[in-house]
Structure 1
């Protein structure tokens, strides 16, 4: 019982695409072939064998997976158990399907029966199993799935015999650019090459950045600058290689790229400003990871510096993503730029009846009892003025760890001063007003109780 061969696909030209009669004739020929196949006994046998083989494969997938887990739990295989299970788990179903379909294919060949559909299914399933296994080495799930789908699509078209006519047709659709020719096929090839090179460049940049970060001789700013430079260089190289694969002389794109670059420059002015500001920050090292800064109302530690923004984590645990341009154009207080030791000043008010030398000495001694306050330079208390209600004193003390917080140590110092004043009879002032009545008549005051 012979199976009719499927209709062949030839590379169409543009005139054939515009003729609907050609499309209808081809569709009719395909439909007639499919209808004749579906009603044949050979097709029913092969379809049933394919369905049974796939169902058996997926029914045995879980037991086989458990067997592999026990196998990789033995001896030296235990060290690679996690990676092996991660790679083999998605492949078990297609791989077992290919095994069963190959067995069915061999059996049908021995019985001299038709094998077209079984061979087609076995080739498609086997190609998916191999491609899924190879793409499993890609760590990123998105890139792994994308590579698997694209590779299997190309393999399936090749198995079905559609790859050659399709590539030929896509290559016939093109335009001339700068003395060269760009077709849809070359553009797809360039896009695929760009994706592959971009992934390779990203992986290489990550590996090199990890190696650079382990060098003790480089400071954090230099490590970040070198890592970002390597990343940008690799990505730019990947883009240039993808463009050159189109067959267009790069010199022909100079004028076009200049005009496009001018338009992009105006549209992305802020982005480029942040990129340049990031490079400046990395070069002059005015802001670097680990610094404690104050920018307007944001106080925190610089967690990381990027090419576009800096990550600043506040004492509340909130992470602020501040554009790099803000560090160039705005006043920034870097508490740890040249020296981590900083001086903190806090105002204190005492009553006018207070013995000032005693109160000032008590304030200094109370400040010294706080663990974070430095003894050198020693705390000082200054008389700053005479207010309406109080005598204004100012306590000044130094700390060496502003990254641990400024307001919290100020609170500890003020609390220690309050305890010392309370124990020694130093009074804090209250708002008071003297009222003078003008006039000759006395003022009568009457107190009435309910």
Structure 2
């Protein structure tokens, strides 16, 4: 009863469903399945609705997963016995439904045990349900012989690529194996990337290069291994290789240039994560380097995707290439009656700040004798320019303002002297003295 493949195939199932007894058995099977669904819903309401913490316990959760197949299975066995007692014949479809329900329970039990055995977070409940459903549908297709019908149809859809004959089954088989091998390769690349990125003594750019090269190499090797496994000759790739070469020559050369430029940038370490760049009058910090572009994040939070080719072919100002500290100046004007030595000392005193290094120390200068006052300038180095300059400037200017008010130093505003000269009659040359 549990293995019905030898006496049941897809054609027999289709013929049985075209008869009255077959449709009756199908209806009984559906009713038993609905009874199992109803029992599972009632069990969920009683066990978990008011106690959701039980859903993560092994025994209550496993028992709940078995309610549907067990209730449906025992209902189906009762229907089989009733059928044989009333009609004195053996049903054809009900044993098939019984086997399906039995293996549904086995698969659900196995998946629940696997989820409980693996570490928490490695095998989630959604993944468990998906895998159990796929395994059960695979068993159902095998039990009724639908797999042979599907395989025959896939093999019938065929075509040729050069001298190689391909069918849909081969392509799907290749896609499956390629997916499995590529997933394994990506998992290995993630392990390698985690190990490489953990090497703190190595430069960050080199670590990124090695991680990306390992991932690319593993994917290429995975595809080259998967294709011969499914029986596809690697010479088939020569056709696609020629098409890719033509595409690179005409439409994809810019993309290829960006990829090559990305590896050059990472290898020569001219641009690194955290560098402050000026590209086309846009200033920002490098937050990410990919094989195609560099992410430049400005102070306002906007991010620009700069192609790697532009960073190689154009002039780029790296303001933190050798040292990330930056020099900024704060201009200020004082009155002509000011003691300049005292004012310069105030500027240097106001520059004492945790973000301003003492070596080199802040410097104050007299820059010009302007119309309304004397121009001074305070120059400082900022240790962490990535935190911005607006707040730092505000704090220093406030400190200068407070000290100027204490010392009576005035900050002038524009002044103009207007002199009015009246003309005396007869005093102008070329005129007579007549009134």
Q: Is the pair's TM-score, using the shorter chain for normalization, greater than 0.5?
A: yes
Matched, 1:98 2:77: no
Counterpart of 2:164 (choices 174, 177, 180) is 180
Q: How does 1:3-42 map to 2 (within 5 A)?
A: 8-9=10-11, 30=14, 33-37=17-21, 40=24, 42=25
Tell me: CA distance 1:436–1:154, structure 2 relative to 1, closer, same or farther (3 Å): farther
SS at match of 1:427: coil
Tell me: CA distance 1:260–1:202, structure 2 relative to 1, closer, same or farther (3 Å): same
Between 291-300 and 175-184, the greater mean CA deviation after superposition: 291-300
Task: Find the counterpart in structure 2 of residue 344 from structure 1.
Answer: 328
Counterpart of 2:412 (choices 429, 432, 439) is 429
Matched, 1:275 2:253: no
CA displacement at 1:333 relative to structure 2: 4.5
CA displacement at 1:182 relative to structure 2: 1.2
CA displacement at 1:380 relative to structure 2: 1.4
Whole-Å Cα distance in 1 between the matches of residues 370 and 390 of structure 2?
A: 25
Paired residue total: 404
Counterpart of 1:357 (choices 341, 347, 358) is 341
Task: Find the counterpart in structure 2 of residue 192 from structure 1.
Answer: 176
Task: Find the counterpart in structure 1 of residue 198 from structure 2.
Answer: 214
CA displacement at 1:32 relative to structure 2: 7.9
SS at match of 2:357: coil
Q: How does 1:3-402 map to 2 (within 5 A)?
A: 8-9=10-11, 30=14, 33-37=17-21, 40=24, 42-61=25-44, 95-105=66-76, 112=84, 114=91, 115-116=94-95, 118-119=97-98, 121-122=100-101, 125-126=104-105, 129=108, 153-245=137-229, 247-263=231-247, 266-295=250-279, 299-315=283-299, 318=301, 320-325=303-308, 326-329=310-313, 331-367=315-351, 369-402=352-385
Structure 1 vs Structure 2 CA RMSD: 4.1
Tell me: CA distance 1:126–1:199, structure 2 relative to 1, closer, same or farther (3 Å): farther
Confirm or deny: 8 A CA contact 2:296 2:304 kept in the other structure.
yes
Tell me: CA distance 1:8–1:426, structure 2 relative to 1, closer, same or farther (3 Å): closer
Confirm or deny: 8 A CA contact 1:345 1:396 kept in the other structure.
yes
Whole-Å Cα distance in 1 between the matches of residues 374 and 421 of structure 2?
A: 30
CA displacement at 1:226 relative to structure 2: 1.9
CA displacement at 1:327 relative to structure 2: 4.0
TM-score by length of 2: 0.75
Task: Give per-residue Cα distances to partners, 1:263-316, cap 9 Å, x unaligned.
Answer: 256444554444333322321222323444455565554433333344455555
Q: Which runs of 5+ in 1 are unaligned?
A: 11-28, 73-80, 443-450
SS at match of 2:18: helix
Confirm or deny: 8 A CA contact 2:276 2:284 kept in the other structure.
yes
Between 399-408 and 330-339, the greater mean CA deviation after superposition: 330-339
Whole-Å Cα distance in 1 between the matches of residues 187 and 160 of structure 2?
A: 35
Between 194-203 and 160-169, the greater mean CA deviation after superposition: 194-203
Confirm or deny: 8 A CA contact 1:293 1:335 kept in the other structure.
yes
CA displacement at 1:196 relative to structure 2: 2.2
Task: Give per-residue Cα distances to partners, 1:56-98, cap 9 Å, x unaligned.
Answer: 23422455669995597xxxxxxxx6xx69xx96x87654322
TM-score by length of 1: 0.73
CA displacement at 1:168 relative to structure 2: 1.9
Task: Give per-residue Cα distances to partners, 1:381-433, cap 9 Å, x unaligned.
Answer: 22223334333222112232223323322222222222223322322232234
Whole-Å Cα distance in 1 between the matches of residues 323 and 176 of structure 2?
A: 51
Whole-Å Cα distance in 2 between the matches of residues 134 and 170 of structure 1?
A: 35
Confirm or deny: 8 A CA contact 2:10 2:144 kept in the other structure.
no
Q: Which runs of 5+ in 2 are unaligned?
A: 1-6, 85-89, 426-435
SS at match of 1:303: strand
Between 329-338 and 48-57, the greater mean CA deviation after superposition: 329-338
Whole-Å Cα distance in 2 between the matches of residues 142 and 274 of structure 1?
A: 40
CA displacement at 1:187 relative to structure 2: 0.8
Confirm or deny: 8 A CA contact 1:94 1:125 kept in the other structure.
no
Whole-Å Cα distance in 2 between the matches of residues 407 and 386 of structure 1?
A: 27
Confirm or deny: 8 A CA contact 1:135 1:148 kept in the other structure.
no
Confirm or deny: 8 A CA contact 2:9 2:145 kept in the other structure.
no
